[in-house]
Structures are given as structure tokens and as C-alpha cells.
Amino acid sequence: MNRSRKGVRRMKKRSTTLVLFVTVICCIVMALVDGVLRPSYAVKSAIKIAIFMLIPLVASKLDRSVLYLQLLRPTKKGFLPAIALGIGIYVVILGGYFLVSPFFDFSQIAGALTDNAGVTKDNFLYVSLYISFANSFLEEFFFRGFVFTNLKQHSGRKLAYIFSAAAFSLYHVAMMIGWFSPALFLLVMVGLVIGGMIFNWLNEKLDTIYCSWLTHMFANFAINTIGFMLLK
């Protein structure tokens, strides 16, 4: 019995270590892509798809106890609460923007979007559609599906909640460098941690990534609305 328990603990520790390692590596690679290489938006999107979908697949092949395909199973439950929460988040983000805009300068964001991310008035519609639907799915699959769900299964809720939300926030650092003043940047990072926690809670409560994906879409709708106003 003791040997069996020790074996289970070793397996859980191994799986936890693998998930943590993969998460750190994926975030570092995306930081290099966003902050150093800065390819075109289409190329960056293709790289992100490969990193966030294929590397977790490799991890699941290396360790059979690491979930992958199970994260993609369809579900019909929880969509109405997710939509309601998403609408609420949309209002909060947009309201927060109008509330703090008199105190912070957002004008540099438009320049950073064009210079660093390659987003212009001409391609904004296509980029915003990708961000709202595809990019939100990639982030939900990776941070809430692969990272949160696997850590929760192998190491417990505390590490899963804290690490996945922190990784989700830090992953945005490289792409947002130069967008905000230091004070506003810190506020955005804290907001991303809180958002990650909310998405984790949805994932845990409804046992699916699709509802947190739906709510994440509304958050991105709000961000795209602000981006549209800044690029006009």
C-alpha cells in the first residue's frame, strides 16, 4: 500500500513538473517572438498555434496522465451564465477605460500596436476577429485547459489557480512593453491575474474550457472596442 502511494505521488510530481516546465518554455518562446523577433501578425499567430497546441500534445504523449484530447470534449452546459458574465466583463472593461482615461495617456498604445504588433487601420478588423475568437481559444486551451486542469489534477487547486493565472498575466508582458505608463502597466497585469482567476473558476465550476472561452471572447470584444477607438 505504501509503495503504491509513493508510486502515485512520484507520478503526480513528474506530471506536475512536466506541465510547469512546458508552461515556462512556451511563455519564454512567445516572449522572444513578441519582444525580440517581432514577425508579422500572421506569422506570430501561426507560431502561437504551434506552441500552444502542439507542445502540450507532445507533453501528453510523453506522459499519458497529462490531459490533452479530454480538454476538447464538447459540452452544452453553462453557456448562458458564461454569456451573462462575459457581458458583465465587457461593461466593466469598457467602463474602466472611460473611468481612468482622464488620468492616463493611452495615445502611445496606437503607435505600439502599429510599430510592435503590426496592427493598422487596414488590418484591424481581421486582427480583432482573430483575437476575439481564435486567440482567446488558444489561450483558454493552454492556460485553463492544459495548465490549470492538469495542475489541479496532479498537484491541487492552490498551485493550479496561482500558477496558471500568474503565467497568463506574465505571458502578456512582452507583447505589451511600451504600451502603457508603469502605473497603468501594473494595473493591467493585476487585471490579467484577476481575469485568469475568473476563467479558472469557470473552468473548474463547469468542467469545460468552452465557457471560459466564451467569457474570454467578451473581454477581447471590449479590448478590441477600445483599440478601435484609439486607432480611429
| pTM of the predicted model over 0.85 | yes
pLDDT at 41: 85
Who wins on pLDDT, 124 or 167? 167
User: pLDDT at residue 88 above 60?
Assistant: yes
pLDDT at 8: 83
Helix, strand, coil % in the chain, rounded to nearest 5 = 80, 0, 20
DSSP 152-165: HHHT-HHHHHHHHH
User: pLDDT at residue 184 above 70?
Assistant: yes
Span 18-28, pLDDT tens digits? 999 999 999 99
pLDDT-derived band at 190 (thresholds 50, 70, 90) equals: very high
pLDDT-derived band at 156 (thresholds 50, 70, 90) equals: very high
Q: Of 8-17, 48-57, 67-76, 93-102, which gets the smallest average pLDDT?
A: 67-76
Number of domains in the chain: 1
Who wins on pLDDT, 167 or 181? 167
Span 101-145, pLDDT tens digits? 888 888 777 777 777 667 777 788 898 999 999 999 999 999 999
Q: Which domain holds residue 109?
A: 2-231
> Are residues 29 and 50 in contact, defined by beta-carbon separation less than 8 angstroms?
no
pLDDT at 204: 93
> Are residues 112 and 179 in contact, defined by beta-carbon separation less than 8 angstroms?
yes
CA gap 139, 126 in Å, rounded: 18
